[in-house]
Amino acid sequence: MTRPLALAVAALLAAAPAAPAAAATTEPDDGGPGGLDYPRGGEGPEGSEVAFTLQDPRITESSGIAPSRLHEGVWWTHNDSGPIEPEVYAVDDSGATLATITLAVRLRDWEAITVTEGADGTPWVLVGDIGDNFGGGWPDVSVYRFPEPGTLADATVEPEEITLSYADGGRDAESMMVDPRDGRLYVVSKEFAAGVYAAPEELDPAGENTLERIDSAPLYPTDAAFSPDGERYVIRTYWSAYVYDAADGVPGASLGSFELPESTQGESIAFTPDGTALMAGTEGVGAPVWRVPLPDRYLSGEPDRPDGPSGADAEPTETESAADTDSDRTGAAPFILGGVGVAALLIGGIVLLARRG
């Protein structure tokens, strides 16, 4: 390789990370996980408060939360991934652990949990091993399900495994929800062009179940849940909650979005059993779980009006929410395009030098 050519290659390697670094300057300086999903929330709707704090030191990365169908005031949660045990925890409304259920499976990347009623009325706990930190490196993902125990005590269970694969290729996901009206399972991918994926109406534990994309979703969602009656569902990001009217099915009509209370890395969401509020959790040891009352318009199913409230405390309209999302998606565009331009010029110079050399 000639000296000019070597210098040109060195320049290209040095310039390659420049565009992402420039784009990163638009993010807050406090660092930490989250990437494009910063900021990390605000105060949340009026009446938002910490319902309880997770007391168990084993719960370090609570990545999902779901209300029990058999035990009043009990919530199920689990850790994410890493050097941890494949355990699901039942916690009470003070945050104390009442029972630990160990699943006799290999934990890969658990990201979501829900409790749903089977056709015979039996409540089932579903754990979504749907994360993929390799961005689509896994050919399939799994959902584990087991009957919700009638007695809360430590136990080991062998769950039923349901294998899922995406019709349009593997991807990362952290959100899973089940429609209580018909039992259909949905997964929401976590990516720039996030999407809502529907599983088959009937899941086949003995075969592979294909997930079909049916709708778009907010940027990088971290969890999702249906209301108890199935009339609403919510998709959360690290900082916001997006509510949908599912009265006519999924995909539902957007009702708008609002900020969730600020958290370190908000990754869980669920409706309260009465459907009037959300429970929002975050990762970390001793993490708080917030109770977030749903503003009236999300309960009535009426989208925000242009002549509605204004000012700093006003909730964004659907159009504003879409604009915010578009802004998130386009904010780094100048840096990306600039980086592509610089790379193209350098590559052209390398080709020219190579030919002369």
Whether the bond between 251 and the residue before it is cis, its omega within 30 degrees of 0, is yes
Binned at pLDDT 50, 70 and 90, residue 84 comes out as: confident
Domains of the chain by residue range: 3-26+334-356, 39-329
pLDDT surpassing 70 at residue 116: yes
The answer for residues whose C-beta is within 8 angstroms of residue 330's C-beta and 6 or more apart is none
Please give the structure tokens belonging to residue 26: 């638009």
Please give the structure tokens belonging to residue 10: 């060195």
pLDDT surpassing 80 at residue 80: yes
pLDDT surpassing 80 at residue 131: yes
| pLDDT tens profile 240-286 | 999 999 999 999 999 999 999 988 899 999 999 999 999 999 999 99
Binned at pLDDT 50, 70 and 90, residue 83 comes out as: confident
- The length of the chain in residues reads 357
What pLDDT does residue 342 have? 43
User: Considering only the top CATH level, what class is 39-329?
Assistant: mainly beta
The Cα 197–Cα 176 span in angstroms is 9
| pLDDT tens profile 161-211 | 999 999 999 999 999 999 999 999 999 999 999 999 999 999 999 999 999
**Residue 167 or 16, more confident:** 167
Binned at pLDDT 50, 70 and 90, residue 81 comes out as: confident
What pLDDT does residue 41 have? 62
The Cα 109–Cα 63 span in angstroms is 10
